Chains A and B, each alone.
Chain A
């Protein structure tokens, strides 16, 4: 093999003299330090993106029906993560919210729970609006009203209403709205008002102080310390009830046959429901229901055929002062009332049964009245929050992508410059 050795040595003798640029050692180490710093920065960015995505991830697995065969209200309300999938809620059993669903800046996050499973979605908005007060769910769970808009939850078109919505009618076809000193009743199908009444400077409390009678022929309104009952066909005042310590009990105040409506009086946190004859407002003493204890407010959703009333009651916050309501001013289930949660209750003559209670941090609640009245409740299942829709991840990914592209462009440019200089 000496010939191979000779050939290799002859070829090696033709190799160029080795040379290194000045400062090679320091330059190599500096380049290495730069690359290591870039790699560490990339790892840090990756960790931040992944960590942020994990922190605000949509928890839970796919939606699993809660076990009932038909639509209903799950008796446990899951607190959704910061972001959930969007859309796909369908007929909605409940909307709810509170500190657990909002941030320090009262972002408009409230939760919606579907009626056909345990799908939970965050319903967005700029500013948080309390369900059951500023945000109202239609009795059939297909629409949601906020300000002057009635939005469909099942893919239909939004409907603009001439004022801020105060209540849905029991059948969901009408909404009561207020615009200045005028309270109107608007037909959602025909997009026209069926009645308008003048309430002067009084404020009709959303979700509490207006009730349309079944049959859509009368409207009970509470303003200041009086309940006014109007004929919706003529917009004429039928009668006026004045008293000092009672309130209209919400959109479900009227009995299903329209023969009477309910008011409630409060002593500390105990509410007593009384029925008034629909014809003239006289109290029906023989139709008493059990008092509701530990309630900061009471909002009737409707009545069952056996005389059971279904209502949302405010849960007093621990240590909160038991405020006496002043009916000269409007009120709602704000924290001013000292409520820390809400519960759905069935009120019978012989007692009150709690159906569900909001979890910690969920203060405000509205449910689909028709499901609650029908007793369609579902055992809790495995909540599904939908595909992740997380702007933090998207924005971070975009930043990383753009940054990476810029870095790659710089590196390619520097390599070209080096080659050109070398050539």
Chain B
């Protein structure tokens, strides 16, 4: 498989994950390009490029956040950001989730995306993030608790959806 073949097969998936991790289109593209640049440099030495790319994607998203400090991505919406979005419907759900993710720490966000978007097991999540299994469990619990406490609009949505 060539690098171009890999990009054709994985680029959209990587971009979607990156978008969930960053919450911003531009940052998602930057993150994916950073990951692919690292992959290109090591392409001939890597056995499983997909696993490598995803591991770098998640670790890089955390380190990006650390490097950029407490930067909060700006969100352009038609509504004032303080007002909760009206419940119901896919676009509203996506908007609420985006706001909710923005309120989590990068590690919590990465754990949530891996566990509930990529459908990784706890062990796979731990391996991909390079952390212990207990860390994944605690981060997942904290992330969900935080979603319920700090984002009541998401809780409402969850209840409605459930």
Q: A interface vs B, CB < 8 Å?
A: 1-20, 24-25, 28-29, 31-32
* Residues of chain A lying within 8 A (CB to CB) of residue B96: 7
The closest CB in chain B to the CB of A1 belongs to B116
Number of contacts between A and B (CB, 8 Å)?
100
Given the interface pairs A3-B161, A4-B158, A8-B97, the reply to whether A20 lies near B33 with Cβ below 8 Å is yes
* Residues of chain A lying within 8 A (CB to CB) of residue B100: 7
Given the interface pairs A20-B33, A25-B40, A28-B37, the reply to whether A8 lies near B11 with Cβ below 8 Å is no
CB A126 to nearest CB in B, in angstroms, measures 54
Other 18 A-B pairs with CB < 8 A, given A18-B12, A18-B15, A28-B37: A3-B157, A3-B158, A3-B161, A4-B116, A4-B147, A5-B117, A6-B161, A7-B93, A7-B154, A8-B97, A10-B90, A11-B20, A12-B16, A15-B25, A16-B15, A20-B36, A24-B40, A28-B41
The closest CB in chain A to the CB of B13 belongs to A18
Q: B interface vs A, CB < 8 Å?
A: 3-4, 7, 11-12, 14-20, 25, 28-29, 32-33, 36-37, 40-41, 43, 90-91, 93-94, 96-98, 100-101, 112-113, 116-117, 144, 147, 154, 157-158, 161-162
* Residues of chain A lying within 8 A (CB to CB) of residue B90: 10, 13
Interface of chain B: mostly helix, strand, loop or mixed: helix
**Cα separation A66 to B62 with both chains bound (whole Å):** 62
* Residues of chain A lying within 8 A (CB to CB) of residue B112: 4, 8
Given the interface pairs A19-B29, A20-B7, A28-B41, the reply to whether A5 lies near B116 with Cβ below 8 Å is yes
Asked if B3 and A3 sit within 8 Å, CB to CB, the answer is: no
**Cα separation A104 to B4 with both chains bound (whole Å):** 61
Asked if A9 and B33 sit within 8 Å, CB to CB, the answer is: no
* Residues of chain B lying within 8 A (CB to CB) of residue A7: 93-94, 96-97, 100, 154, 157, 161
**Cα separation A119 to B100 with both chains bound (whole Å):** 72
Contact of A10 among B17, B94, B116, B158 (CB under 8 A): B94
